Amino acid sequence: MKFGIFGGARRGLHDITGDSTGYRDFIDYIRAADENGFHNVFLTEHHFTGQESLSASLNLLSYLAACTKNIRLGTAVAVLPWHNPVLLAEQVATLDVLSDGRVDLGVGRGYRKPEFDAFCVPMSEAWDRYNECLEVMLKAWNTKGRFSHEGKFFRFKNILVEPTPIQKPHPPIWVAAGSPDSIARVADNNYSLLLDQLASDAQVEQRSTAYLDAMAVRGHTRDASRIGVARALHLVKNEDERNAAWARRATSVKNIADLARRPGVVLDERFELDMKEAAMIGTPDEIIERLNALAARGVDNVLLLNVSATRKFLEFFAREIMPHVNATPLKRVANA
């Protein structure tokens, strides 16, 4: 099993605080991840939160490219409706060059109502803006020579986007999906899949299988390493810490739900599932058991939303937990 870091956006957790010291701590945390065999890091992008959330994720990743060697550098996600597609393609490609081909480009259409309001973009335009932005970026990377674009939101004439990425024709695209339809679309495009931290282990298995099946049907390799499974992680030593961790988790999940609040979305059932099954809260032995259960369901890349974002924690994790987790996904999911 490959482990990754999911860089969340809540202050005081794994969040990046706005002062220089906060950034230094986070940078040291990712350096430690790199040095301790973690496979990937995915950084979030949020705007105007008032909680000093990370906004310019590609700039922090560019810095991290200089102080890490092997860890893959990802966005989860770059929220396309806020970006000019050619500027974003230039930034991503530059990061790919700077990191010698370590970029994983997670993209999304945004889900936070306050961000849409602040950017004065109607949420009803999210899909159109997302689709047009991604279309232009892919055209920039897949076209030999110059091209033009006449869209609803952007126009470009006779352009050629530089630099070209190191990964050819472009860094892997990662997309978050949960429903059967959206998973099918991810496979249609041969993108990699991000599964969210709220889905239960059983849902993760179901969705992974759906993705791998859909990929196989479309002639692509069944490759479980192209599925990143986000999991909240909180190591505890005793029952008091366990109870405190669950209480904290309840608040986190409520915050996530509040930020995505919009008509028609019911979160109660999901919330319950998560409280019981999705978060990994426990002693090291219990966490090893949870990770082996995920491995048994075919999971090959767990992305940790880790409440203890320190070098010391990652060294402990690499030493005491990683070696005890099954490295081979079961045939049932990973092979045709």
Which residues in this chain contact a copy of itself in the complex, by CB under 8 A?
18-20, 23, 47-50, 52-53, 55-56, 58-60, 62-67, 82-84, 86-87, 90-91, 93-95, 97-98, 100, 117-120, 146, 155-164, 166
Q: Is the dihedral of CA 321, 326, 327, 330 positive or negative?
A: negative
Q: Least distance to a copy of itself from the beta carbon of 205, Å? A: 37
Q: Least distance to a copy of itself from the beta carbon of 126, Å? A: 17
Rank residues 166 and 325 by Cβ distance to a copy of itself and give the closer one.
Answer: 166
CA proximity to 44, closest of 129, 130, 110, 96: 110
Q: Number of C-alpha atoms within 13 angstroms, CB side, residue 301?
A: 22
Q: Least distance to a copy of itself from the beta carbon of 118, Å? A: 5
C-alpha dihedral, 278 to 183 to 265 to 45, nearest 10°: 70
CA 95 to chain centre: 17
Burial-class residue 330 by CB neighbours within 10 Å (0-12, 13-18, 19+): middle
16 and 51 Cβ atoms separated by less than 8 Å: no
Q: Where are the beta strands (DSSP E) in the chain?
A: 2-7, 40-43, 72-79, 103-108, 147-150, 155-159, 173-176, 192-195, 227-235, 280-282, 301-306
Q: Least distance to a copy of itself from the beta carbon of 43, Å? A: 11
Rank residues 160 and 265 by Cβ distance to a copy of itself and give the closer one.
Answer: 160
Q: Least distance to a copy of itself from the beta carbon of 191, Å? A: 23
| Residue in the structure block whose two tokens are 């969340």 | 8
Q: Least distance to a copy of itself from the beta carbon of 77, Å? A: 15
Rank residues 77 and 195 by Cβ distance to a copy of itself and give the closer one.
Answer: 77
Other C-beta atoms closer than 10 Å to the C-beta of 32 total 21
334 and 301 Cβ atoms separated by less than 8 Å: no
Rank residues 162 and 315 by Cβ distance to a copy of itself and give the closer one.
Answer: 162
CA proximity to 289, closest of 266, 333, 321: 321
Rank residues 66 and 266 by Cβ distance to a copy of itself and give the closer one.
Answer: 66
Q: Least distance to a copy of itself from the beta carbon of 20, Å? A: 5
CA proximity to 5, closest of 104, 80, 92, 94: 104
